[in-house]
Chain A
Amino acid sequence: MAGPRNISVSEASRPVLPRHAKLKYDETRQVWVILAPERVLAPDEIAVEVLQLCDGQRNVGEIADQLAAKYSAPREAILADVIAMLQDLADKGFLTEIREKTS
């Protein structure tokens, strides 16, 4: 089955795009897009960078670490932005997360 829905993105979340949301570079229009049922979203540069790091392995905290190091920017501000963006995507139904098996 698909990953859980209705997720609340936090520093510990390990987000990943679900099967029905595909990140792709659109050669014709020279933009990155997320293809989803009856939708085409246009993520901005930062969103693309974040989504490329959402591999279901890294957690949000690690993603923020990586971006903070890369841009020599304050980690707390980056973390807040990343969480807000991912939560927005989750609320639209285009983000899921990997959870540890509890059984």
Chain B
Amino acid sequence: MSDVTIPPSDSLAVLEKQRSTAETFGIPLAVLLEITHRCPLQCPYCSNPVELDRSAKELTSDEWKKVLSELAEIGVLQVHFSGGEPTARKDLVELVKHASDAGLYTNLITSAVLLTREKLSDLADAGLCHVQISFQGIEEGLADRVGGYKGGHRKKLEVAKWTRELDLPLTVNAVMHRQNLHQLPEMIQMALDLDADRLEVANVQYYGWALKNRAALMPTVAQLDECTRLVEEARERLKGRLTIDYVVPDYYALRPKKCMGGWGRQFFNISPAGKVLPCHAAESVTGLDFESVRSNHSIAWIWQNSEAFNRYRGTGWMKEPCKSCEFREIDFGGCRCQAFALTGDAANTDPACALSPLHETIFKQAEAEAEGETSRFLYRNFAGGTLESENDA
């Protein structure tokens, strides 16, 4: 039962699921493992839910190992160890080793600030294939302020250097928003100086913590246009030297993004407590009961049969204007979490779509926020957030 399409004209196609059939869903190629929500940084745009899982709820080492074996068995090819900060878990080397032995390609998505050279070297020996380090800016003043962690930027630079010395491929993950977009040219240069293989220019996506901080983060239309221009120019100039992936915020778009490739079609992630989720923001949608790997169901069963995955799978759940829309199998009505956060009903059209009755209002609101004076952050933490002091903003 293969639903993989490989265009015959391209000898090196990127492997994807068939795009044309709404009901098709094979086992995802890659799975995101959020092994903990603990993190020394407090980034105001964190993609974790506002309600964080406490460490006592986290899966044990043995439970994660069982998950990894199961994933490899059902045909997952890559796993991303993420968080929170994955290196906050003492068993990370053990987990990477287990994943590698099971034949999985392993990525580490890290803030880097807790790593030592020895730990990184142990991870490399355990079979780690790729390191992705997030950066908040190009100099410590702004970068440490955004991360809410003194000395963080300097440490990240050091770890990036060790990564390349250990012959591990490096991705620089540049998280961009209104307060640091002016640093993008230097950010691209920094990725080159660090000998990175890949740069992710990731504009903040406005869910959870980022939605709470939208007024302090939302870029202006002019900033985004300039960002796109710089990325396109750099891609051309650095072809073969640095791969650049680009994530844009969809507030200023006319068409919504095909979020996660469609709910329950190409992607799932596993939360620190073992919930199997259609995306990392899915727990923000209330009224859905997500099954756990601790239940007596297999991961494959949860993916294929659980109510939460089937609720918004395909097109049957749609209301107008999605229901009769010619793009319904192109973008699947955008993002369910964004629809829920901004309209109160996940089955509504994502307001990022120009066909949503709320599109105009939301666009205007974002535009006004981008032009506004607010720059203070609400820092992410287990206490529900802490507002930045007025003197620091």
Contacts and interface: CB of A to CB of B under 8 A. Distances in A.
B164 A47 contact: no
Interface in B282-334: none
Contacts of B243: 92-93
B150 interface: no
Contacts, number: 103
B6 A93 contact: no
Contact of A44 (B11, B78, B103, B164): B11
A29 B2 contact: yes
Chain B contact surface mostly: loop
B17 to A, nearest CB: 10
A39 B169 CA distance: 13
Interface string B229-256: 0000000000111110100000000000
B209 interface: no
Contacts of B165: 1
Given A18-B169, A22-B105, A22-B129, A41 B240 contact: no
B241 A6 contact: yes
Interface string A67-103: 0000000000000000001001111110000000000
A9 B27 CA distance: 36
Interface residues of A, number: 36
State which size class the interface on B falls in: 35 or more
A35 B13 contact: no
A32 B129 CA distance: 19
A40 B6 contact: no
A88 B105 contact: no
A5 B239 CA distance: 10
A35 B26 CA distance: 18
Interface in A2-22: 2, 5-7, 18-20, 22
A86 to B, nearest CB: 10
B269 interface: no
B15 interface: yes
Contacts of A5: 197, 240-241
A23 B165 CA distance: 24
Nearest to B26: A29
Contacts of B130: 20, 37
Given A22-B105, A40-B77, A93 B245 contact: no
Contacts of B4: 29, 31, 42
B293 to A, nearest CB: 19
Nearest to B124: A19
Interface of A: 1-2, 5-7, 18-20, 22, 24, 26-31, 33-35, 37-44, 46-47, 85, 88-93
22 contacts: A2-B167, A5-B240, A5-B241, A19-B129, A29-B75, A30-B2, A33-B15, A35-B77, A37-B107, A37-B129, A37-B130, A37-B169, A38-B171, A38-B245, A40-B77, A42-B4, A43-B11, A88-B12, A89-B12, A93-B240, A93-B241, A93-B243
Give 6 nearest A-B pairs by CB, closest first.
A28-B75, A20-B169, A35-B105, A42-B15, A40-B15, A37-B130
Interface of B: 2, 4, 6, 8, 11-15, 26-27, 29-30, 74-75, 77-78, 103, 105, 107, 129-130, 132, 164-165, 167-169, 171, 197-198, 239-243, 245
